[in-house]
Amino acid sequence: MLVDPAKTTELGRPVGPDSSLTSWEGEQWKTGGGCAWGWFSYDPDLDLVYYGTGNPSTWNPAQRPGDNRWAMAIVARDATTGMARWVYQMTPHDQWDYDGVNEMILTDQEVGGQKRRLLTHFDRNGFGYTLDRATGALLVAEKFDPSVNWAKRIELDPASPAYGRPVVDERYAPGTTGEDETVTGICPGALGAKNQQPAAYSPATGLFYVPTNHMCMDYEPFHVTYTPGQPYVGATLTLHPPPGTDRTGAFIAWDNLLGRIKWSIPEPFSVWSGALATAGGVVFYGTLEGYLKAVDAVTGRELYRFKTPSGIVGNVTTYMHDGRQYVAVLSGIGGWAGIGLAAGLTDPAEGSGAVGGYAALSQYTAAGGQLTVFALPEP
């Protein structure tokens, strides 16, 4: 990544000449992860490309002290030159495998009576971030899942030396307990409070519609040696619901300017499908049991459901053909949450704990693949 020490900024300040490699110990940066494997967004007026970077390696934080820049960051790069205009590291020294690669949703909204170019990002770490996408200014950073406990909050005081950083709860930090010790009850789990499943935005309501995971984990880091071509993980984990509930998902409406949940629909399993918001005030999403659901965009009231043959991990889409509108969804269980059922795995520890965490899923759906298309009433 091209960085200009004097011009590339983080939260309005130049990153400086020692911003990157010195945040790693020795040569660890060479095998340190931070890959960009998710979604890219582009603003043609600003000529900026936006994306997130993944977790640092290994998953054992004791082997890579420091902030591990620029893993776990939002990056805005000049599309013509490749130079980073601004960066923001959401989870310095990530200890939980909270990849920062989820989609960057670009919107133009009023903030304090002025039109602002915004970027909203729902990170696996459980915080929903709203930034000014032109400058990288941090406007909102709040928990979008109430079970999140690895950090108490994000420091939002610009005068604080810790501005923009998470206030980590050391009880849930594997780096505090050390290698070969298990930290229990970390929320969210490594699959995140939201994973690859994309959220949707409705200009009509000003709300974001977000499929979420309500899952925690027990995490034990261990020493690992890098060998090219071999897994380089360095931790074992198990997944489980938060205390006091057996539900592991929710579909929520989120106000990105206030950092608040407008409404929430609890689901028995993680919501692993993408969301679709329509101009007609209807929002669609799918569930791991295989239901396609339609809800009211303002209230969240369920309007319709249809049981497909298998769990839904794809995106709901809509299109026009010969003057008629259609809604389509591909069902076929899979993804991190459904890997046990899809691949026939039985060991609870397999799938980085997902097989055990979602063992009950086999009672509600089966493997398979089908495209289901619905025709809306003719106008």
Closest CA to 249 of 277, 272, 221: 272
Tokens of 191: 């699959």
Euclidean distance between CA atoms 95 and 61, whole angstroms: 6
Please answer whether residues 348 and 311 qualify as being in contact, where contact means their C-beta atoms are separated by less than 8 angstroms. no
Euclidean distance between CA atoms 208 and 171, whole angstroms: 32
Closest CA to 133 of 214, 45, 252: 45
Scanning the structure block, which residue is given the tokens 């709901």? Answer: 316
Tokens of 141: 């950073």
Q: Following CA atoms 242, 244, 248, 252 in sequence, which dihedral angle do they give, to the nearest 10 degrees?
A: -100
Amino acid type, 364: Y
Euclidean distance between CA atoms 28 and 26, whole angstroms: 6
Q: Which residues of 150-166 are buried (b: 16+ CB within 10 A; e: fewer)?
A: bbeebbeeeeeeebbbb
DSSP line for 149-168: -SEEEE---TTSTTTT-EEE
Euclidean distance between CA atoms 254 and 209, whole angstroms: 6
Please answer whether residues 112 and 121 qualify as being in contact, where contact means their C-beta atoms are separated by less than 8 angstroms. no
Closest CA to 348 of 248, 262, 256, 239: 239
DSSP-derived secondary structure letter, 1 = -
Residue 97 among the catalytic residues: yes
Question: Of residues 94, 97, 99, 145, which has the active-site annotation?
Answer: 97
Please answer whether residues 61 and 172 qualify as being in contact, where contact means their C-beta atoms are separated by less than 8 angstroms. no
Tokens of 29: 């940066």
Which residues have a catalytic role annotated? Answer: 97
